[in-house]
Amino acid sequence: MLEDKDRTELSDLGEFGLIDRIAQSVEITQKSTVKGIGDDAAVLGTGKVKTLISTDLLLEGIHFDLSYVPLKHLGYKAVAVNLSDIYAMNGKPTQITVSLGLSSRFPLEAIDELYTGILLACDKYNVDLVGGDTTSSISGLTISVTAIGEASEENIVYRNGTKETDLICVSGDLGAAYLGLQLLEREKAIFKDNPAIQPDLTGHDYVLERQLKPEPRADIIDILELEKVVPTAMIDVSDGLSSDLMHICTQSGVGCRVYIDKLPIDHTSAIAAEELNIDTTVAALNGGEDYELLFTVDLKDYERIKDNPAIRVIGHITDKGDGYNLVAGEQIIPLTAQGWKHLEA
C-alpha cells in the first residue's frame, strides 16, 4: 500500500466529501441519464415516465448488530430504507434486487428468516423481488439492495428545487429510531455484564419499532398526489433532519430557519429520551434513521397541507446569506450537520 506521507485518511474527507469527489470525476454520456449521483435516486430514461434507481449497502457491525436485531426485521428494514429513497423522489417503487454475502455460521433457516422479512416488505409496498446475487462471506453478513421505481417526469422532486419563502415540511415524527437504538444498546451492555438479567424494554414498543422496522412513507406520496401538491424539493430523513435539510439547502443554494417548538416528537420518544437522559431536540435533529420525508412546498400550497395530521410545517426557506438556523424562542442557533459517523470511528 502507500507510504504514510502520501496517505489521505478517508475520515478527513468524510462521506459527503468522498461522494463529491467521485461525482466530479464522472462524465455523463448516455442521453438516457437524466440525473446521476447526488440525489436520493438516479433518474433514467428517454420517455415521459422515468426509471428511478437507488441502492444501499448494509454491513454487519456497521449498520446492524445481530445480537439484538432479528433477521426478519433486518430483511424488512433493508428493503424499507431503499424504497424510502424512491418515495423521496416522489416516485413509486416497482422492483428490488437483493444481494447477500453469507458466512457459513448462517444455516438455511436463518436465511429463510431474512427472506421472510424481505418478502413481507415487498408484499406490503407492492414491489417485486427480481434478482440479486448470493455469495459466501468470510466476514459478516452483507446486504446490498437496489430499488427500482418510476415517476412521471413532471412529478419528480429533486433536492435542488427549493427557493426563498418555501415552507419546510416533515412527515410523522423525529428522533424515535435513534432513541430505540440507544435503548437496545443499553440493554446489550447490561446483558454483557450480567447475562442473567432479562432486557427491560417495557413501554418502549414505539421507539423500538421505529428502529427495528421502519416504514417508508408511501402514504405521503399518495397524499401529495391527491392534494395535487408537487414539493419543490424532497429528501428522506436517514442521516438526521439537520444533515438532510442541509443537503436540500446547499443543493438549492438557499438558507433555512427551523423552529425548535415545531419539531414533531412523539410522547413515547420524550419518555424514552428522559429515561436515557438524551435531549429530544438533539435526537430529532441528529438522530437519523427516521425515514420520514422532509420536503419544501411553495407558499401557495400551504392550505392544501396545513390540516393534514401526517405533515408538520417546521420552518421556511431563507436567502442563502442567512445560513442554516434553528429558532428556539428568542434565540437563533446555527444548525450543524453530522456526516458519516461510521468512518470517523
Shortest Å, Cβ 312 to its own copies: 29
Q: Cα(first)–Cα(last) distance of the chain, in Å?
A: 21
Neighbours of 257 (CB within 10 A): 18
Contact 40, 89 (CB under 8 A): yes
Shortest Å, Cβ 227 to its own copies: 26
Contact 75, 118 (CB under 8 A): yes
Contact 265, 172 (CB under 8 A): no
Is the CB of 47 or the CB of 321 nearer to its own copies? 47
Shortest Å, Cβ 36 to its own copies: 4
Distance CA 83, CA 91 (A): 9
Cell of 189: 451492555
Is the CB of 22 or the CB of 299 nearer to its own copies? 22
Shortest Å, Cβ 230 to its own copies: 23
Is the CB of 59 or the CB of 270 nearer to its own copies? 59
Give the C-alpha distances (Å, rounded to integers) separating 41 from 83, 172, 194, 222, 323: 10, 22, 45, 19, 26
Which strands make up the sheet holding 331-334, listed edge to edge?
233-236, 293-297, 167-171, 311-318, 255-259, 324-328, 331-334
Is the CB of 54 or the CB of 296 nearer to its own copies? 54
Shortest Å, Cβ 107 to its own copies: 4
Q: Which of 227, 206, 245, 229 is nearest to 326 (CA)?
A: 245
Cell of 26: 464522472
Shortest Å, Cβ 329 to its own copies: 38
Distance CA 241, CA 233 (A): 14
Shortest Å, Cβ 42 to its own copies: 4
Distance CA 75, CA 111 (A): 10
Give the bridge partners for 168, in sequence order: 296, 315
Is the CB of 12 or the CB of 330 nearer to its own copies? 12
Give SS3 for 133.
strand
Shortest Å, Cβ 250 to its own copies: 18
Is the CB of 98 or the CB of 326 nearer to its own copies? 98
- The DSSP 8-state label assigned to residue 300 in this structure reads G
Shortest Å, Cβ 47 to its own copies: 7
Is the CB of 5 or the CB of 267 nearer to its own copies? 5
Is the CB of 61 or the CB of 253 nearer to its own copies? 61
Distance CA 345, CA 340 (A): 10
> How far is Cα of residue 291 from the mean position of the Cα atoms in its chain?
4
Contact 225, 156 (CB under 8 A): no
Distance CA 172, CA 84 (A): 14
Is the CB of 19 or the CB of 282 nearer to its own copies? 19
